[in-house]
Amino acid sequence: MTTLYLDRKDLTVAHHAGRLRLQAGPAAQDVPLALLERVVVAAAVRLDSRVLGALAERGIGVLLLGPRSGERLAIVHGRPHQDARVRLGQMRLADDGAFALATAKRLVAHKLRRQSRLLAQARRLRPDQSRALSRGMATLEALLSALAGSADLASVRGLEGAGAAAHFQALGAVLPPQLGFAARRRRPPPDPVNAALSLGYTLLHFEAVRAAYAAGLDPYIGFLHGLSFGRESLASDLIEPLRPALDGWLWRLFATRALRAEHFHTEAGRCLLGKAGRAVFFGAYETFARPQRRVLRRLCRHLAAAARAACPPTLGEETDDA
């Protein structure tokens, strides 16, 4: 199973007999739907509702990105999970203050540890930046110690935010200076690193939304991230421990010059990744994402099991074994 990236604006996509036909001028290519797990549309391609229907029927998720900005426009899901008890149990767990706090602390602890490990790896490879990296690691260790005594979600969220700031300040010391990275900034991303981070996190968030739906969970009901209109808070929770892995992956892409400043350009204050850069990015992302998808599936299975336990069948309720 694989991902199909559609990133050519003159492309027409049609469905016929279990295949997608990709047509660009006189050239055409057929892609069997049986090979696909997800489709990412990154350009203004032409397709109709029959294509989306065929993808949804087979459970193939579709992520629509802004053709220029790379921001998420929409996600099209396949058939939903049928066990409503999982979502009901998830709601009960979200209302359980002790469970929500413990879950949030575990997620942030994993993130802080992985951030620290990434900075330790960077220090080994870049001893010339040892001072900045050691300072970041010391801050992360102090935050991890403080996390153990956190008594509420507000303090956990504050520690996570402080960790992210220290992490990116230290990581900036080993990024190529011509990239102009000073701090994490999202809207709009002002430099190539922030633009690449935003695109990577968008793809990773898509993976988390799909993993949650596949496990029967509601991606909008989180624990670390509270309810917020239009935000898939659980998906945001799930990717927090994975963000340092993506940060390190991008650092290596820039350090090896697989991604370079000339792959980007700026329009109206927004840094954008060009088509040649997207080809590099998407190709490398697939290799990076495979183990992350396994982690997300495992996290969602464990959470779904806890949700089912929080909502056991009532006497006389029909079950799958009935």
0.85 surpassed by pTM: yes
pLDDT at residue 225 greater than cutoff 50: yes
Q: What is the mean pLDDT of residues 139-156?
A: 96
78 vs 207 pLDDT, higher one: 207
Strand partners, 3: 38
Using DSSP, state whether 277 is helix, strand or coil: helix
Q: How far, in Å, CA of 251 to CA of 244, rounded?
A: 10
pLDDT band of residue 224 (cuts 50, 70, 90) is very high
Q: What is the mean pLDDT of residues 99-120?
A: 97
Nearest-CA neighbor of 112 among 144, 136, 142, 148?
A: 144
Strand partners, 13: 22
CA 175 to chain centre: 22
281 vs 316 pLDDT, higher one: 281
Q: How far, in Å, CA of 78 to CA of 59, rounded?
A: 4
pLDDT averaged over every residue in the chain: 91
Query: Looking at residue 322, what is its pLDDT?
Result: 38
Q: What superfamily would CATH give domain 2-76?
A: CRISPR-associated endonuclease Cas1, N-terminal domain (3.100.10.20)
pLDDT digits (tens, 9 = 90+) for 262-278: 999 998 889 999 999 99
Query: Looking at residue 317, what is its pLDDT?
Result: 54
pLDDT digits (tens, 9 = 90+) for 176-195: 999 999 899 988 999 999 99
Question: Which tokens sit at 162?
Answer: 């402080």
pLDDT digits (tens, 9 = 90+) for 29-65: 999 999 999 999 988 889 888 898 899 888 899 999 9
Percent helix, strand and coil across the chain, each rounded to 5?
A: 55, 15, 30
Q: What is the mean pLDDT of residues 221-247?
A: 94
pLDDT band of residue 314 (cuts 50, 70, 90) is low
Other C-beta atoms closer than 10 Å to the C-beta of 306 total 16
CA distances 148 to 69, 143, 162, Å, are: 39, 9, 15
pLDDT band of residue 320 (cuts 50, 70, 90) is very low
The maximal CA–CA distance of the chain, rounded, in angstroms, is: 68
User: Do the beta carbons of residue 56 and residue 33 sit within 8 Å?
Assistant: no
pLDDT at residue 289 greater than cutoff 70: yes
Give 96-101 contacts, CB < 8 A, sequence gap 24+. 96/310, 99/223, 99/306, 100/153, 100/223, 101/150, 101/151, 101/152, 101/153, 101/156
pLDDT at residue 4 greater than cutoff 50: yes
pLDDT band of residue 318 (cuts 50, 70, 90) is low
User: Do the beta carbons of residue 10 and residue 44 sit within 8 Å?
Assistant: no
User: Do the beta carbons of residue 270 and residue 68 sit within 8 Å?
Assistant: no
Nearest-CA neighbor of 242 among 150, 108, 94?
A: 108
Strand partners, 38: 3, 61
Strand partners, 235: none
pLDDT at residue 95 greater than cutoff 50: yes
Give the start-to-end residue ranges of the domains of the chain: 2-76, 84-310
Query: Looking at residue 76, what is its pLDDT?
Result: 85
Q: What superfamily would CATH give domain 84-310?
A: CRISPR-associated endonuclease Cas1, C-terminal domain (1.20.120.920)
Q: How far, in Å, CA of 159 to CA of 199, rounded?
A: 25
pLDDT at residue 68 greater than cutoff 80: no
pLDDT band of residue 134 (cuts 50, 70, 90) is very high
Same-fold call for 2-76 versus 84-310: no
| Non-local CB neighbours of 257 within 8 Å, separated by 6+ positions | none
Nearest-CA neighbor of 274 among 199, 206, 202, 201?
A: 199
Q: How far, in Å, CA of 270 to CA of 109, rounded?
A: 33
